[in-house]
Structure 1
Amino acid sequence: MQFLVYILIYPFLWFVSILPFRLLYVFSDGLYFILYYIVGYRKKVVKENLNLVFPEKSEKEIKTITKKFFHHLCDMVVESIKSISISEEEMKKRFVFTNIEEVHKIEDANKSMVMMCAHYGSWEWIFVLQTYVKSMGYGIYKRIANKHFDKLVKSIRAKYNSYLITTKEAIPRLIEAKNNGERTINGFISDQSPKLHKAFHWNEFMNIKVPIHTGAEMLAKKLDMAVIFFSVKKIKRGYYETTFKTITMEPNEYKDYEITDIFLKLVEKQIYEAPEYYLWTHKRWKHRNDVPPEFQ
């Protein structure tokens, strides 16, 4: 059944991926109309989240941000499909690194690194970073249920010497790499909400106390990796600038969760500057009423 779904859908995805960008965004506009006006995909969740974190904004302002967000979301969908066929040259033109030397400094220090980011801007084309560096690249991800689509996504990343591994695979694989003297760059999207039974740290995110993912920090400390943050700025449709900020070269000099809290403040700064580029469809604040007494 999974293979049948794959062979039915993949030709359509491939066709979309070979469209020139001008037509690709016409497709995105059509997708926006369907999702926003007809299906209403998670529109209620988006507005609830925006009202929650921006109580000072008017209904008109919330509606404007919501529409801009859905436009951006649809652009991201078609851009991720474009990854199937986009050339390296085209991707480098559209996803620019403003200070790649920050990554090179860490490599020159012969250290592996944990690269933290949020569901902000665009993260789909970050794997082109591997064409600028010498370290092996790994992205920590959740496996796709359909094994054929999972294989497709992995193959796209592998074109640029970047590989996807699950959370369970990460520690043994990266310990092995360290023991073999390999340098690695390990990407984490670290702003999602953890399961309550795995929540070891709570803090305010956008002025609301929530459980925080700490896996990236814990891995950095366990394997003595530098920690670097990357932010993505949307310049215009299909064009992004990525900027790196080294949080620390010595993670074990920080108290537990301090690095994670620094990361969250950097994420907040992005959101306040341009909220329409954050992924508001996720129920990031769903556990705000479940704060344990020791964290209140």
Structure 2
Amino acid sequence: MNYLVYILAYPFLWLFSRIPFALFYIFSDFMYYLLYYVVGYRKRTVRKNLELAFPNLNKEERLEIEKKSFRHLCDTFLEMAKTISLPEKEMRKRFQFTNLDYLLELEKENKSIMLFCAHYANWEWTIVLGNQINFQGFAVYKKINNPYFDAFIKRTRSRFNTILIEIKETIRVVRKNEIDKKHGVYAFISDQSPMVSQTNYWHEFMGIEVPVYTGGEALVKKYDITPLYLKVEYVSRGHYKATFVPLLNEDEVLKEIPNYEITNRFLKEVEKQLIEAPEYYFWTHKRWKHRGKKPKNL
């Protein structure tokens, strides 16, 4: 059954990826109408998240953000399909790094680099970085249950010399690379909501205490990896820019930084973007579902 679903869906995805951008976004507008007004996909979740994150805004203001976020959600998911066949030259034009030289200078320090990323703007197109750096690029991802689609996603996201690592394999891969002195640039999506039972740290995010992933920071400290926030911003439809933001000041020593401080700084950077332009965040994700459930021993 998994294979049948794959062979039926793949031709459609490939053909769709070849549609010119002008027609592409007309289809996205149609999908927005269908998703928001007909299906109502996770509308209740988005509405609740916006109420929690922006209690200072009135209902009309939050509704405007809600609608814009659904429009952008449709664009983002359809742009993921574009990744299948979009030429590298075109993707570089549409997803530009504002301070790539800064990253290349950091590589000269012969230390691996950790990119803390968020579900903001189009985080998927970060893979185009792979052929623009000297280190090997790695992206941590969650394995898809359908093995054929999982292999397809790995092929698609690896087009520009980025290696995908399953979440459970991350520690092993980083450890081996560091032992072998094969430095890499690792991209982590770090704003997700972990299971309460697997969490050892909680922190406020948009004013609400939630469980937080700290695996990225743990690897940074254990292997002396340089931590950066990848700030992805919306420029115009189908165009984005990304900036490497240091999470460690030049006069700071990593081993002297208090535990979880790198994670806190990452969350603060994400908050800045949400406050400035909330419509480009992935509000359908239940980021605050564990609020109020913090164990007493933490």
Matches within 5 A, 1:50-69: 50-69=50-69
Residues 212-291 of structure 1 aligned to structure 2 (within 5 Å): 212-248=212-248, 250-291=253-294
Per-residue CA deviations over 1:198-240 (Å, capped at 9, x if unaligned) read 1111111000011111010001112111101111111110000
Question: CA offset at residue 102 of structure 1?
Answer: 2.1
Shift of 1:264: 0.4
| Contact 1:35 1:41 survives alignment (8 Å) | yes
CA distance in 2, matches of 1:147, 1:31: 27
Match of 1:21 in 2: 21
Gaps of 5+ in 1: none
- Which amino acid letter does the alignment assign opposite residue 266 of structure 1? E
Counterparts of 1:208 and 1:85, CA distance in 2:
40
Query: In the aligned structure 2, how far is the partner of 1:281 from the partner of 1:260?
Result: 22
Deviation per CA, 1:175-209, whole angstroms, max 9, x where unpaired? 11112221101110101111011111111100001
The answer to whether 1:152 aligns with 2:155 is: no
Normalising by the residue count of structure 1, what TM-score does the alignment of the two structures yield?
A: 0.97
Q: Equivalents in 2 of 1:45, 1:156: separation in Å?
A: 30
Which residue is 1:75 aligned to?
75
Q: CA deviation at 1:294?
A: 4.7
Any idea what the Cα deviations from partners look like across 1:240-290, whole Å, max 9, x if unmatched? Answer: 010111213853221110110011000000000000011110111111111
TM-score by length of 2: 0.97
- AA aligned to 1:263 is F
Residues 1:39 and 2:39 are matched in the alignment: yes
Taking only the aligned residue pairs, the percentage that are identical comes to 47
1:125 corresponds to which residue?
Answer: 125
Q: Is the 8 A contact 2:209 2:291 kept in 1?
A: yes
The alpha carbon displacement at 1:105 in A equals: 2.0
The 5 Å alignment of 1:105-144 reads 105-144=105-144
Three-state SS of the structure 2 residue aligned to 1:71 is helix
Q: Distance in 1 between matches of 2:290 and 2:254?
A: 28
Instruction: Provide the C-alpha distance between the structure 1 equivalents of 2:170 and 2:287, rounded to a whole number of angstroms.
Output: 24
Q: Which aligned pairs between 1:71-110 and structure 2 lie closer than 5 A?
A: 71-110=71-110
Question: 5+ unaligned residues in a row in structure 2: which ranges?
Answer: none
Mapped contact 1:119–1:189 kept (Cα < 8 A): yes
- Measured in 2, the distance between the counterparts of 1:81 and 1:251 equals 39
